[in-house]
Structure 1
Amino acid sequence: MKRILEVAIKTIKESGNILLNYIGEEKEIELKGISNLVTQVDKLSERHILKSIEENFPDHSILTEETGFINKNSEYTWIVDPLDGTTNYAHNFPFFGISIALIKNKEIILGLIYDPIRDELFYAIKNEGAYLNDRRIEVSKTESLENSLISFAFPYELSLEEKNFIPFINFSSRTHGIRRTGSAAIEIAYVGCGRLDGFWAKKLKPWDISAGILIVEEAKGKVTDFSGNNIDIHTDNILFSNGKIHQEMIKILNLGKIFIRNEKF
């Protein structure tokens, strides 16, 4: 694992430098949806990560956001998001990162999330804890939802019929505040280090959440679906928290209507 970690850290930081080299420059933007962007820098970053993995671990399978699944019939699969927060990046909004995870036989054993703007590397090794730039991290100790700061991610295709806004409104009146930065991976990492107390989202992809799942769990947090069930990297709805406010968040996520602050539900 030591060599795998060393290669992963070197690779993710080199890709971070690629992102930094192009920030502030005009981007070539393609649209996968009205708010689902991809730039040439996503592809450059992904190409670098793919090359590194294939040179160092040629027998490993790889799943990436842009290229898709490269199947080597291996017990190991790398899950790669070369640029999480592409819309932010395309607009020079400085909140984006890179996410890389390694799965062995369906179990996440390594997760890394790198914020090149702040030079913050979050990573976790299965059963060995979670770290921020080599400093051990843990989730917050916030005991109640009313004292929490939480965040969320909307799906690319918003739908009022799917009630995406109801949890946002209900949480807004019962917390210190809600944040939405546009980079799910970074926000999940913030749950792991205690900057946020919880995060929820629908319709994220494996490359958005795989590294973050391990980071939060190894930081002594909790990860489930909206019903409190165990999840995998393909789960449609996902909740991260410090564990202490988890049940309160589940309750509010499952409300079917808007309740004002003091209204009982």
Structure 2
Amino acid sequence: MVTDNYEKEISFIESVLKEAAQRLNHMKIQSIHDKTSRDLVTSSDYAIEQYIITMIQSQFPTDHILSEEMNQDTLLQERTWVLDPIDGTCNYANAIPMFGIQLALTVGSAIAAAGIMLPCLNELYLASQNGGCTLNGKKLTVKPDSINHSIVSFGDFNEERQAASKLQSQTMKRLRYQIMKEKMFGAASVDFAYLASGRTSGTFLIASHAWDILPGILIALEAGAVISDEKGRPFCFDSEIVLAANSQELIELMRQPELSC
């Protein structure tokens, strides 16, 4: 257990994500459809989402639910569960083992509890506000390293957010010869989990939807990561870009503006 705060919710997240991963690991994809020109949805997305929604409604019947496939228009209210049944569906649909199941509880303007399950690695990340972060029950902290040994991951580009996508492209180009490696995993759950577990040093993500980023933000924060928007301000729910890193120094490097000629 991560903390006494939101103990019931953390226990619920742990149980439901473990069961969802078991179901997903034994599930065959029955259908795949284009959701947008750059994204897919599968029968498994709907099945896992329906299972978790049913469990939330059973255990917390008065809470609200915001989810990627069935409840996209729910507003964040006093207690809202934020669910991404398969984060990284394109990876999942193409048998690339880099995807996750994400669930968070927001209370007012705070992320109170969260979990990320990476089924192919059998890794369960849990965190609660001011309660720390664990990986399979063991406490996590980000791993400090020097800038020239840093590995920074970048999220997907977003054709609906051209300015943010341009800034991401500029940042990738600018960091290329200052850090050790750039990575694109194709799943925000993996970006945040790898930062929290010390596999990477930072991540730059366009905040397309709440279900993509809110669970991972709490995981990373409670593991000791520094998080801001592209201007160095604290992250808020309407931030367009999320920067997360194992040090303030790397955050400053990631948000450094492109110099004009």
Q: TM-score, normalised by structure 1?
A: 0.89
How far off its partner does 1:256 sit?
A: 5.4
How far off its partner does 1:195 sit?
A: 1.0
**CA distance in structure 1 between the aligned counterparts of 2:44 and 2:224, rounded to whole angstroms:** 34
How far off its partner does 1:70 sit?
A: 7.6
- The question of 1:190 aligning with 2:194 is answered yes
Distance 1:256 1:111, change over 3 A: farther
Q: Is the 8 A contact 2:158 2:208 kept in 1?
A: no
How far off its partner does 1:72 sit?
A: 9.8
In the TM superposition, what whole-angstrom CA distance separates every residue of 1:129-164 from its partner, at most 9, and x where no partner exists?
01101100011111x322201101122428598354
Tell me the secondary structure at the aligned position of residue 175 of structure 2.
Answer: helix
Q: Is the 8 A contact 2:106 2:112 kept in 1?
A: yes
**CA distance in structure 1 between the aligned counterparts of 2:29 and 2:62, rounded to whole angstroms:** 37
How far off its partner does 1:238 sit?
A: 0.9
**CA distance in structure 2 between the aligned counterparts of 1:104 and 1:62, rounded to whole angstroms:** 12
- The question of 1:116 aligning with 2:125 is answered no
Q: Is the 8 A contact 1:151 1:180 kept in 2?
A: yes
Tell me the secondary structure at the aligned position of residue 44 of structure 1.
Answer: helix
Look up the match of 2:185: 181
Look up the match of 2:156: 154
| Cα RMSD after superposing both structures | 2.2
Distance 1:71 1:200, change over 3 A: closer
**CA distance in structure 1 between the aligned counterparts of 2:187 and 2:76, rounded to whole angstroms:** 31
Percent pairwise identity? 28
In the TM superposition, what whole-angstrom CA distance separates every residue of 1:172-230 from its partner, at most 9, and x where no partner exists?
21111011111111111111121110000224311011111111111111111011011
Q: Pick from 203, 220, 223: which aligns with 1:199?
A: 203
Unaligned runs of 5+ in 1: 258-264
Q: Pick from 131, 134, 144: which aligns with 2:134?
A: 131
**CA distance in structure 2 between the aligned counterparts of 1:204 and 1:234, rounded to whole angstroms:** 10
Tell me the secondary structure at the aligned position of residue 92 of structure 2.
Answer: helix
Look up the match of 2:98: 95
Look up the match of 1:168: 172
Distance 1:164 1:26, change over 3 A: same
Question: Letter of the aligned partner of 1:140 in structure 2?
Answer: K
**CA distance in structure 2 between the aligned counterparts of 1:133 and 1:18, rounded to whole angstroms:** 19
Tell me the secondary structure at the aligned position of residue 67 of structure 1.
Answer: coil
How far off its partner does 1:73 sit?
A: 9.2
Distance 1:73 1:218, change over 3 A: closer
Question: Letter of the aligned partner of 2:86 in structure 1?
Answer: L
Look up the match of 1:236: 240
Distance 1:118 1:202, change over 3 A: same
Question: Letter of the aligned partner of 2:128 in structure 1?
Answer: I
How far off its partner does 1:67 sit?
A: 1.2
Aligned pairs for 1:210-221 within 5 A: 210-221=214-225
Distance 1:256 1:78, change over 3 A: farther
How far off its partner does 1:247 sit?
A: 1.1
**CA distance in structure 2 between the aligned counterparts of 1:72 and 1:163, rounded to whole angstroms:** 28
Question: Letter of the aligned partner of 1:204 in structure 2?
Answer: S
Q: Is the 8 A contact 1:223 1:239 kept in 2?
A: yes
In the TM superposition, what whole-angstrom CA distance separates every residue of 1:44-96 from its partner, at most 9, and x where no partner exists?
00000100000000000110011125869962110000000100010011111
**CA distance in structure 1 between the aligned counterparts of 2:247 and 2:166, rounded to whole angstroms:** 26
- The question of 1:4 aligning with 2:4 is answered no
Tell me the secondary structure at the aligned position of residue 68 of structure 1.
Answer: coil
Unaligned runs of 5+ in 2: 1-5
Question: Letter of the aligned partner of 2:210 in structure 1?
Answer: P
